[in-house]
């Protein structure tokens, strides 16, 4: 609840503003229909969990984000985490270049080359992907190939898929996920010269259709509500906006007429949420979201396949609630958030490293994120019983409240024209700005307690964490540039120009972009060259930031 | 002070994180200051020219990780004839970077967790002192 207010008459609420009583009784869930609204785990409406056996059958996947420096630096950290029990890996692409598919030589990047590799390696060609993945057995691992923004997602996927093909792994055997995320690229951390949202939507839908036909084990667009929450939306809102985004994909895919709802809905039913130091509300969010997704897919879209109606959840356990002050306290915050996520029945999790308010995670901090999860999985007993809080007057009541309010917020988004229109008009940018400000004011006034920040402060902190420093950006720049020049010298110019023409025609037309993208990366086209084609075909767009 | 405190805010990097800047800007405006958003991906030259053109009392840079642009802004400000604006940096500044920044001419660094009140108070008091000195 995070509002340690005991004064009489004071209204206590969850972080999302749901009023809380002191105690809950059967009267609070008197209307609850167990069979219809709760049901058995693994059965509709999935309130109690996506699968019948949950963690007894399979523990949640330990799935951490990692990457910095050069591709080989990124590879070493991924291997380190895999050796210590991570069950899959999330590649982080370089923000300066790969997020927006910028040229290494563009004046904007050159001027800031010290920032290259700050987080994520500049994986600017298929060769660099091969370098980053060398010695990593991708045929056996669940992966996220760094496909974080709409403009880079088809390229990142094409590189990863091509690495597999070059190793003789059939695409159909690959398992993993991407994002192509609007929240990150257009709402939370928008760069300049974005492609207009409707074209980002098109690229993501192309990718979904390609994967539906070729990679049954791949979730190409896992909408990470996480990034909307870290930017400011509250828990209820981040569920609603995630589904609003998914509705935009579903409507576009249905309007194309190539596939039926049950052909592709399962790919959109893998989403990301974010616990936020409100223990019971965070649990209620996971339970309510599964029920909402099931209703949405059945009632609005007539889905029949259980794969379509079953929501699977990845969580990124809180970045923005981490504090720079007394950073070891973040280990406790990560643990609390991870317990909530586990009680909420998530399938996959990454815990923010305790030093992330200070630097890129050190090995020590990164391994702590893995160990936090392993201690919960192996020692705590939390994995033994499915949805242990079902039937709690409070938790069931809160689950109902979260659902009710999330439908209301979804309606509000739809009243602003739906996800893409609300994004383009700047309505969503104003929403996140307002919510973040409201949160910050509560921290500033002390109404919301943050230990080490607005209470329990220490003039001299008795412990310091080591500051991790990645390879200097100048060095990343120099080596990456040499490698790009070598690639341009060595690639077959006829193949490269043929692939470039093919990709240009595809981007300008309506054909699925993925075959031409695969050809382009194999012919040695670079991320920057591909990004320039995308901007030329689609034009550019600037996020309407209320600053 | 006679006139409202004028602040130029900039995100010099290509990195798009804007939560910190949005929150701080809103708080400064509520405190009666005039906040002019200079934009994203500006270099030291552009930042300094904008500060002169807008005749601001304070430059606020929202930073993460690496700080070459800030040092360049410090150099440019040193070259200015007359009184230079106050230079304030906010963001994920590693602890070992704070002293080099302040030694180079950054007046204050506000790290994550800094209260909005502490930022407002600092700017208000510094501007008042400077006005009294002038």
Question: Hey, what long-range contacts does B109-112 have (CB within 8 A, 24 or more apart)?
Answer: B110/B24, B111/A324, B112/A323, B112/A324, B112/A357, B112/B20
Task: Provide the strand spans (E) within A229-331.
Answer: 270-273, 312-317
The alpha-carbon gap from B125 to the nearest alpha carbon of chain A, in Å, equals 19
Q: Which residue of B has its CA nearest to A194?
A: B16
Residues on chain A touching B111 (C-beta within 8 angstroms): 324
A289, exposed or middle or buried, with CB in 10 Å at 0-12, 13-18, 19+? buried
Domains annotated for chain A, with CATH where assigned, are 1-51+260-433 (3.20.20.240), 68-72+86-221+456-541 (3.20.20.240)
Q: List the single best residue of B22, B24, B29 to mutate versus A (max A Cβ within 10 A).
A: B22
Residues on chain A touching B65 (C-beta within 8 angstroms): 115, 118-119
pLDDT given at position A4: 46
- Angle, nearest 10°, between helix axes A329-343 and A363-378? 40
Structure tokens at B134: 């002038």
The alpha-carbon gap from B133 to the nearest alpha carbon of chain A, in Å, equals 31
CA distance B42 to B69: 9
A502, exposed or middle or buried, with CB in 10 Å at 0-12, 13-18, 19+? middle
Task: Check A440 against B23: CB less than 8 A apart.
Answer: yes
pLDDT given at position B2: 60
Task: Check A189 against B22: CB less than 8 A apart.
Answer: no
CA distance A308 to B25: 43
| A358: nearest CB among B26, B95, B117 | B95
CA distance A234 to A239: 9
**Residue B109: partners with Cβ closer than 8 Å, 6 or more residues away:** B88, B89, B90, B93, B98, B101, B102
- The list of chain B residues with pLDDT below 50 reads 1
pLDDT given at position B133: 85
pLDDT given at position A1: 44
Show which of residues 51-70 on chain B sit within 8 Å of chain A, judged by CB atoms: 64-66, 68-69
pLDDT given at position A8: 58
Task: Check B65 against A441: CB less than 8 A apart.
Answer: no
Complex prediction ipTM: 0.94
Assess B117–A contact: CB distance below 8 Å, yes or no: yes
Mean pLDDT by groups of 10 residues along chain A of 547 residues: 54 96 98 95 98 98 96 97 96 93 88 92 97 97 97 98 98 98 95 94 98 98 97 97 98 98 98 97 98 98 98 94 96 98 98 94 97 98 98 98 98 98 97 96 95 95 90 96 96 98 98 98 97 97 94
Q: List the single best residue of B7, B17, B23 to mutate versus A (max A Cβ within 10 A).
A: B23
CA distance A269 to A223: 9
In the sheet that B6-11 helps form, which strands lie side by side, from edge to edge?
B34-40, B6-11, B58-64, B86-92, B108-110
Q: What CATH number was assigned to the domain covering residues B6-133? A: 3.40.50.280
The alpha-carbon gap from A351 to the nearest alpha carbon of chain B, in Å, equals 19
| Alpha-carbon distances of A108 from A69, A92, A215, rounded to whole Å | 19, 21, 37
pLDDT given at position B28: 97
Q: List the single best residue of B10, B13, B19 to mutate versus A (max A Cβ within 10 A).
A: B19
Nearest CA to A155 out of A124, A122, A196, A197 is that of A124
The alpha-carbon gap from B14 to the nearest alpha carbon of chain A, in Å, equals 6
Q: Where are the domains of chain B?
A: 6-133
The alpha-carbon gap from A537 to the nearest alpha carbon of chain B, in Å, equals 22
Residues on chain A touching B9 (C-beta within 8 angstroms): 547
pLDDT given at position A191: 87
Structure tokens at A521: 């990366």
Q: What is the DSSP string of A148-166?
A: -STTTHHHHHHHHHHHHHH
Nearest CA to B7 out of B76, B44, B45, B62 is that of B62
Give yes or no for a contact between A345 and A387, defined as CB atoms under 8 angstroms apart: yes
Nearest CA to A98 out of A157, A14, A58 is that of A157
């Amino acid at each position: 609840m995070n509002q340690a207010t005991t004064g009489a008459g004071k209204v206590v609420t969850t972080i999302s503003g749901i009023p809380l009583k002191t105690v809950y009784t059967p009267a609070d869930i008197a209307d609850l229909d167990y069979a219809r609204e709760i049901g058995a785990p693994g059965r509709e409406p999935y309130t109690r969990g996506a699968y019948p056996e949950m963690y007894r059958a399979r523990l949640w996947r330990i799935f951490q984000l990692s990457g910095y420096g050069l591709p080989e630096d990124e590879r070493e950290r991924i291997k380190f985490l895999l050796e210590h029990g991570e069950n899959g890996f999330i590649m982080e692409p370089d923000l300066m270049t790969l997020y927006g598919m910028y040229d290494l030589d563009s004046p904007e990047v050159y001027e800031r080359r010290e920032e290259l590799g700050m987080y994520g390696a500049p994986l600017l060609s298929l060769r660099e992907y091969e370098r980053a993945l060398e010695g990593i057995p991708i045929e056996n691992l669940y992966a996220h190939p760094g496909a974080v923004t709409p403009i880079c997602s088809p390229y990142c996927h094409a590189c990863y898929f091509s690495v597999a093909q070059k190793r003789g792994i059939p695409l159909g055997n690959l398992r993993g996920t991407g994002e192509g995320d609007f929240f990150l690229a257009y709402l939370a951390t928008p760069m300049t010269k974005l492609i207009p949202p409707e074209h980002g939507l098109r690229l993501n839908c192309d990718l979904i259709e390609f994967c539906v036909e070729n990679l049954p084990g791949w979730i190409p667009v896992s909408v990470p509500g996480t990034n909307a929450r870290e930017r400011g939306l509250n828990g209820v809102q981040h569920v609603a906006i995630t589904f609003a985004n998914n509705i935009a994909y579903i409507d576009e895919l249905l309007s194309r007429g190539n596939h039926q709802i049950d052909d592709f809905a399962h790919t959109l039913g893998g989403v990301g949420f974010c616990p936020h130091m409100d223990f019971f509300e965070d649990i209620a969010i996971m339970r309510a979201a599964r029920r909402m997704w099931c209703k949405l897919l059945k009632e609005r879209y007539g889905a029949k396949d259980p794969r379509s109606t079953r929501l699977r959840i990845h969580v990124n356990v809180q970045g923005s609630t981490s504090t720079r002050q007394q950073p070891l306290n973040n280990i406790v915050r990560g643990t609390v958030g991870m317990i909530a996520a586990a009680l909420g029945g998530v399938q996959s999790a990454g815990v923010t490293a305790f030093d992330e308010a200070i630097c890129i995670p050190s090995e020590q901090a990164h391994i702590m994120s893995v160990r936090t999860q392993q201690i919960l999985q192996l020692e705590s007993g939390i994995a033994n019983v499915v949805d242990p809080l079902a039937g709690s007057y409070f938790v069931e009541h809160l689950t109902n409240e979260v659902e009710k309010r999330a439908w209301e917020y979804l309606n509000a988004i739809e009243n602003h024209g739906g996800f893409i229109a609300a994004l383009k008009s700047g309505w969503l940018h104003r929403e996140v700005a307002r919510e973040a400000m409201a949160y910050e004011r509560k921290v500033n006034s002390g109404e919301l307690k943050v230990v080490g920040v607005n209470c329990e402060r220490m003039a001299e902190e008795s412990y310091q964490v080591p500051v991790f420093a990645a390879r200097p950006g100048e060095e990343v720049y120099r080596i990456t540039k040499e490698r790009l020049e070598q690639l341009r010298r060595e690639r077959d110019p006829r193949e490269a120009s043929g692939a470039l023409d093919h990709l240009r025609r595809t981007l300008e037309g309506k054909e699925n972009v993925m075959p031409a993208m695969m050809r382009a990366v194999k012919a040695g086209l670079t991320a920057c060259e591909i990004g320039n084609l995308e901007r030329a075909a689609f034009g550019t767009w600037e996020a309407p930031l209320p600053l | 002070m006679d006139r409202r405190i004028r602040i130029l805010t900039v995100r010099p990097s290509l990195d798009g994180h804007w939560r910190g800047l949005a929150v701080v800007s809103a708080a400064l405006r509520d405190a009666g200051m005039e906040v002019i958003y200079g934009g994203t991906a500006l270099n030291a030259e552009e930042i300094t020219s904008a500060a002169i053109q807008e005749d601001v009392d304070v430059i606020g840079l929202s930073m993460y990780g690496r700080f070459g642009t800030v040092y360049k802004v410090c150099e440019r400000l040193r070259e200015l004839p007359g009184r230079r604006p106050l230079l304030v940096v906010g963001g994920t500044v590693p602890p070992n970077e704070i002293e080099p920044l302040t030694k180079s001419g950054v007046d204050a660094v506000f790290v994550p967790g800094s209260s909005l009140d502490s930022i407002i108070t600092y700017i208000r008091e510094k501007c008042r002192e400077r006005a009294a000195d002038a």
